Amino acid sequence: MTEPVLRLILGDQLSLNLATLRDADPDRDLILMCELHTEATYVAHHRKKLVLVFSAMRHFARALKSKGFRVRYRKLDDTDSVTCFVEEMEQILEASGCRRCVITQPGEFRLLQQFTQWQQECAYQVELREDDRFLSTPAAFEQWAKGRKQLRMEYFYRLLRREHNVLMQNGKPIGEQWNFDSSNRKALPADRIPPSPTRFEPDDITRDVIQMVSQRYDHFGDLDDFHYAVTREQALQVLSEFIRDRLPNFGDYQDAMRQGDPWLYHSHLSFYLNLGLLDPAETLAAAEKAFHDGQAPLNAVEGFIRQILGWREYVRGLYWLQMPDYAESNFLDAQRPLPALYWGAETALNCLSQCVDDTRRHAYAHHIQRLMVLGNFALLTGIEPKAVNEWYLLVYADAYEWVEMPNVQGMVLFADGGLMASKPYIASGAYIHRMSDYCTRCRFDVKQKTGPRACPFNYLYWDFLDRHRDKLASNPRLGLAYRNLDRMSAEALEATRESARIFLQELE
C-alpha cells in the first residue's frame, strides 16, 4: 500500500484545483492547514484582513472535509508555541507516520526560502510544486524579459491576450486597439449613485474568528461591519453581481474617487482571487462573455481584463524575476520615516484623510486612491521604500508580497528606477481635484501654488522635480514638466522650495 502523504495548504491557496491536491487520496493522505501567530504578525496585518484569511481558511477546511478529505486544522490556540510552518509540519509528520510532504510554492519569497531550505536539510521527502493557478509562469516571464532594459506591462499583456485568445478576433484585438485606458478616466457625476457592494452576514465561524482577532490583536484597522465573502460560493456571487451591476460602468469611472464611497464601480474581487476562492480564468471568461452578450461595453471589459490578465500576471512575474534584490531598491534615495497620518493621525489634507479612513475601516481602497493619493504623497515627500512597502502589505486585505511589492516599488515609488514604469506617477492637486470631490471639502486651496493656504501637492510636485533633476530630467516623458519648471521665475521657484521645506519640516 502506498504511504500516506502530508499536504500543506497555505492561507492564500484556498482552491480545490491547487497543485497540492491534484493527486490527493482522501482515504490515505492528510491535509494540513494551520493558523500561525508568526504569520499574523510578521507585519501587523489589518484586523479585517486577519478575519478574512482565517475565516476563509476555516470554511475551506470544512469544504475539504465535506468532500471526504482528512484535514488536520490547527487554530491559533493550538500553535502558540510554533514559530513557522516547518516546525508544525515536522510535528505532524512525526506523529502521523507520513514520510512525504507536498507543498505548492508560496507567493512570498521569504516562505519559499523557508521551504527550500527545509527541503534540502530535512529527513523527509518534500515536493515543491509550481502554483499553476495563474495564466503565466515565472519562467515564461523570465523568457519574455530577456534582453529588455525596461519591462513594460503593456507588451506582456498583449502576449498573454494572444496566448489565451482573450478579446481577440482573427489574430487582432477586438476594437482594433489593445488598450482603452484613455477612455477610462471620467470623473464621477455628483448625481450618479453606484450600486452597493455585495455583503454577507458573518456566520458562526466568522463570528468566532472576529472574537479571536479582537481579543488577540490590537493592530491597525476596524473590525466593525465585516461583510466579505469567505467561501467560494460567496465569492462567485460577488463575481456575478459585479458583472451584472458594476462592470457596465467600470470602464468610465475606474479612476474616479468620491468622499465616503470607496467601492464605486470596482469589482472588489482581488480579495478572492488572491486567496484562491476565485480562479482568474473564470473571472476573465465571465467578463468577456458580458461583452459578447452585449451586457458591458468594450472599454469596461478590456479595462477589467487588463487588471487581471495584464497587471496581476505581470507583477507576479516581475516579483519572482527580481527578488530578493528588488526589496532593496531605492533609486531616489528616499529616507523619510512614514508619517503618523498613515496610521490615522489628524491631517488637514482631506484626500489623505479620506483614503486612510477608508483603509482603516475596510482594509480596502481602490487602485487610484492607493496610487495617486496615498502613493503620490509618499513619492513626493520621499518616504523610505521599506516603510511604505510594509504599510501597503499590512493594511490591505488583498495584499500579499508578490502583488504588493512590485506595485509599490515600481508604480508607487519609482524605487526601481524605471524598470516597471516609464516615469514616476506624480501629480499636483489638479489631478485629485479633477478625479474626486475631496478638494471641495479641504482646508487647502487646490488653485494656490505656494504659501500656507496652497494645496501641498502643488508645491511638492515641483519641489520633487527640482530635487531629483539629476536623475529624472533626461526622462522623455518628463520633458514638458521640466520645460515648465525651467520657465518658472527665480522668485516662484524659491517660494515653491520654501513652501515644501516648511511643509516637510512640519510633517516630521
The tens digit of pLDDT for each residue in 174-205 reads 999 999 887 778 899 999 999 999 999 999 99
- Give the integer Cα–Cα distance in Å for 41 and 39: 5
If one counts every other C-beta atom within 10 angstroms of the C-beta of residue 358, the result is 21
Region of poorest pLDDT, from 145-154, 175-184, 320-329, 487-496: 175-184
Annotate 12-36 with b (16+ C-beta within 10 A) or e (fewer).
bbbbeebbbbeebeeeebbbbbbbb
- What's the grid cell of residue 189? 457625476
Which of 74, 91, 90, 72 minimizes the C-alpha distance to 39?
A: 74
Nearby residues of 465 by Cβ (< 8 Å), 6 or more positions away: 426, 472, 478, 481, 482, 485
The pLDDT-based confidence of 508 (bands split at 50, 70, 90) is confident
Contact 57, 10 (CB under 8 A): no
91 phi/psi in degrees, rounded to 5 = -65, -45
Which of 438, 283, 258, 269 minimizes the C-alpha distance to 348?
A: 438
pLDDT of residue 95: 85
The pLDDT-based confidence of 415 (bands split at 50, 70, 90) is very high
pLDDT of residue 98: 85
pLDDT of residue 82: 85
In the chain, % of residues over pLDDT 90: 93
Q: Residue 338: is its pLDDT beyond 70?
A: yes
Q: Residue 1: is its pLDDT beyond 70?
A: no
Nearby residues of 458 by Cβ (< 8 Å), 6 or more positions away: 428, 429, 430, 446, 448, 449, 450
Residue located via cell numbers 468622499:
259
Counting beta carbons within 10 angstroms of the beta carbon of residue 469, is it exposed (0 to 12), middle (13 to 18) or buried (19 or more)?
Answer: middle
Q: Residue 55: is its pLDDT beyond 90?
A: yes
Mean pLDDT of 368-392: 98
Mean pLDDT of 60-68: 97
Q: What's the whole-number average pLDDT of the chain? A: 95
Q: Residue 368: is its pLDDT beyond 60?
A: yes
- Give the integer Cα–Cα distance in Å for 387 and 20: 34
- Give the integer Cα–Cα distance in Å for 103 and 112: 10
pLDDT of residue 99: 87
Instruction: Label each residue of 398-447 as H, E or C.
Output: CCCHHHHHHHHHHHHCCCCCCCCCCCCCCCCHHHHHHHCCCHHHCCCECC
Instruction: Label each residue of 66-90 as H, E or C.
Output: HCCCEEEEECHHHCCCCCCHHHHHH
Q: What's the gap between Cα 78 and its chain centre?
A: 30
Q: Residue 391: is its pLDDT beyond 90?
A: yes
Q: What's the gap between Cα 432 and its chain centre?
A: 21
- Give the integer Cα–Cα distance in Å for 68 and 85: 24
Annotate 44-79 with b (16+ C-beta within 10 A) or e (fewer).
bbbbbbbbbbbbbbbbbbebbeeeebbbbbbbbeeb
Region of poorest pLDDT, from 9-23, 69-83, 307-321: 69-83
Give, as one character, the DSSP assignment of residue 255: T
Mean pLDDT of 131-159: 95
* Beta partners for residue 454, in sequence order: 445
Q: Residue 278: is its pLDDT beyond 70?
A: yes
- What's the grid cell of residue 429? 492637486
pLDDT of residue 354: 97
Nearby residues of 404 by Cβ (< 8 Å), 6 or more positions away: 389, 392, 393, 396
pLDDT in tens, 3-30: 899 999 999 999 999 999 999 999 999 9
The pLDDT-based confidence of 81 (bands split at 50, 70, 90) is confident
Domains of the chain: residue spans and CATH:
5-129 (3.40.50.620), 138-203+230-322 (1.25.40.80), 340-507 (1.10.579.10)
pLDDT of residue 73: 96
72 phi/psi in degrees, rounded to 5 = -100, 105
Prior bond to 262 cis, omega within 30? Answer: no
- Using DSSP's 3-state secondary structure scheme, residue 239 falls into helix
Mean pLDDT of 439-462: 97
Contact 451, 269 (CB under 8 A): no
Cα diameter, the chain: 85
Residue located via cell numbers 492528510:
30
Mean pLDDT of 346-375: 97
128 phi/psi in degrees, rounded to 5 = -100, 115
Contact 449, 423 (CB under 8 A): no
Which of 276, 325, 313 minimizes the C-alpha distance to 56?
A: 276
